[in-house]
Chain A
Amino acid sequence: MKRSLFDKLWDAHVVEQLPGGNALVFMDLVVAHEITTPPGAIAIEKDFDDKLYAPERIVSMIDHVAPAKDAATAIQAQTVRTWSKRHGIRFHDIGNNGICHVLVPERGYVTPGMTVCCGDSHTCTLGALGAFALGIGTTAQAGAMLAGCLILQRPKVMRIEITGQLPPDATAKDLTLSVIATIGFRGGTGYVLEYTGSAVRALDMEQRMTLCNMAIEAGATTGIIASDATTAAYLATTPCAPTGWEALQADDDAEYAATVTIDASTIRPVVSWGTNPGENSRIDGTVPFDAPAESLAYMDLKPGQALRSIAIDQAFIGSCTNSRIGDLRAAAAVMRGQQVSVPTIITPGSQAVRRQAEREGLHDIFQDAGALWTHSSCGPCLGMSMGVLAAGTRCVSSSNRNFPGRMGDGGRVHLAAPAVVAASAILGRIASPSEITARAVVLA
């Protein structure tokens, strides 16, 4: 049988078939952070003599709340810190840290053909490197640290073929939001999304990570992109990536359980208006007339309302979706010489990204514009720290989830690409970057 890329990765890691269509699947890397790892690490310590299958196959960091915001989060961080030191686990403490899905690829910890798991749903980001990477719960992660394996049902594979070329103003964020809108918020459940086609090949690695990052927002087990020269060039710039990894490709005429074809030239900048990421429309459009009433009630919007008329209270650029150097450059290009009109938080995805941005002077552009430039953390994306929304306030965000309460109880979130967030921060309403360019010309 002709095999997909995912089939090859799966077949190469199955240790044993188990009852009920389950398999014992070997994990080459377990990523651990301070929020979801401690209960599992403590369970292994208590019940299994603190024995890990292979500490050298674990990498850990403080990423969600960095540094600790209170006594409880300090204990979480300290638990991961002491556990990592005790086992000789590669550990990234504050100052040398980053959001796991930003830090792990930039250090070169993941190479094509690997399997990776983490107690974090956006682990699918790492599929951009041609790896099978998936989010799991705390107990499953503990199992992977204890026995080197996950118990998984074999997912089906959906090919997402993206043909043609993205227009210049459309980004990987617009593409990934459009994929979710096309297949549906739960349309990927039970599937791995295997992204192929000329528009995918044309994306750089950071953009590929943005595309794969939101596979979970369609319910998919993960997203995955075959490695190529772009992957190899990226890995060559990382400090830790080993050489000699094998590039895996799908067979010609591989069989897929489903195939969806999207013409990239039809992708336009989009923004979400609802309470799940699939509820998004072109930024130049309106809130749809068939939008679910419940979503609109929460978001305080009306059908037919122009998206670019929606006033905002806050803007956020960051999260594992859009906080890499290319994202910050895109935001800076819009913000240069401008002033923000709402509180604006810009949070780099890792301390390495932060330092690169500062070498390029991006931090000056942001701060001259009146934005808050922070150190790396998951930030307000999940409403834990550093910019949580007040009830009833509205934020345009480069993050990944607009669920009710996601960024703070009663807060409202509109998802968009970094350049759209930057433009919106300046105009105080949902805005297109082209509006800033046009305004700059008039002001000149």
Chain B
Amino acid sequence: MIVEGSVLPIPRANIDTDQIIPAHYLTRIDADGMGEHLFEGMPDGARLLALHPGASIVVAGENFGCGSSREHAAWALLGRGFRAVIAPSFARIFNENAYNNGVVPVVLSQETVDELMGARTIAIDVDNETLSADGGEPISFALDPLRKQFVLGGGVLKYLASKIPSVREWEAAR
């Protein structure tokens, strides 16, 4: 799977999920309708999105997705056409939510992320865990080998459903 597109750079750490999607939009019983409100909680969110129309890969600072557990943050990114986030680190829950929804969370060093902030387009080879900025040399990264499968297809719930018999067995022997 190749995720390719232009970059939305957010050169700051600690982009929390309230900034990604404010709580007053969390009033639906499905995952739809979040994309149009992406980054509305970020003081310069609208300006950044307008500066980078059609972007599909976020490049951001450390601790992206911190705060609330709201999976709506991943849904809002997807709904706006974003398929990957590149950052030096992710908050745990956002990282899990990203994998579970097919948003690829790519961890790279701060130095590399700083360089990628200036890239126009990035192509991410999910299978081989490499990316290339503006056609440059490939840069390697590492994905969680299990959760990567949820991105490539199948989904986490199907995987977990396949585990039910062994969970029941474990619980009975507990």
Contact = CB atoms under 8 A, between A and B. Distances in A.
Nearest to A79: B29
Contacts of B97: 137-140
B160 interface: yes
> Which bracket fits the contact residues of B?
35 or more
A301 interface: no
Interface string A114-142: 00000111000000000000011111101
B28 A72 contact: yes
A404 B42 contact: yes
Contacts of A153: 144
Contacts of A24: 163, 167
Interface in B10-69: 12-14, 16, 18-19, 22-24, 26-31, 40-43, 62-63, 66-69
Interface in A340-398: 382-384, 388
A98 interface: no
B6 interface: no
A403 B18 contact: yes
A190 B71 CA distance: 19
Nearest to A383: B23
A48 B167 contact: no
A24 B83 CA distance: 27
Nearest to B91: A219
B171 A138 contact: no
B144 A147 contact: no
Given A219-B92, A221-B92, A149 B63 contact: no
A143 B167 contact: no
Interface stretch (A33-41, A165-173, A237-245, A305-313): A33-41
Contact of A53 (B16, B93, B167): B167
Interface centre among A43, A47, A72, A382 (most CB of B within 10 A): A382
Contacts of B74: 137
Contacts of A35: 26-27, 70
Contacts of A406: 18, 23
A232 interface: no
Contact of B100 (A38, A139, A149): A139
Contacts of A135: 69, 93
Nearest to A76: B29
Nearest to A277: B67
Interface in A191-244: 216, 219, 221
A147 B71 contact: no
A324 interface: no
Nearest to B142: A20
A75 interface: yes
Given A186-B14, A409-B41, A384 B160 contact: no
16 contacts: A15-B163, A15-B170, A16-B163, A22-B147, A39-B71, A75-B29, A76-B27, A135-B93, A137-B96, A139-B157, A140-B96, A140-B100, A294-B12, A384-B23, A388-B24, A401-B68
Closest CB pairs A-B (n = 9): A38-B29, A137-B71, A72-B27, A137-B97, A20-B145, A147-B160, A405-B41, A382-B23, A139-B100
Given A15-B163, A221-B92, 12 more contacts: A35-B26, A36-B26, A39-B28, A137-B69, A142-B157, A146-B161, A149-B163, A276-B16, A403-B41, A404-B19, A405-B22, A406-B23
Interface of A: 15-16, 18-20, 22, 24, 26, 35-36, 38-39, 42-44, 47-48, 53, 65, 70, 72-73, 75-76, 79, 119-121, 135-140, 142-143, 146-149, 151, 153, 185-186, 189-190, 216, 219, 221, 276, 294, 298, 382-384, 388, 401, 403-406, 409
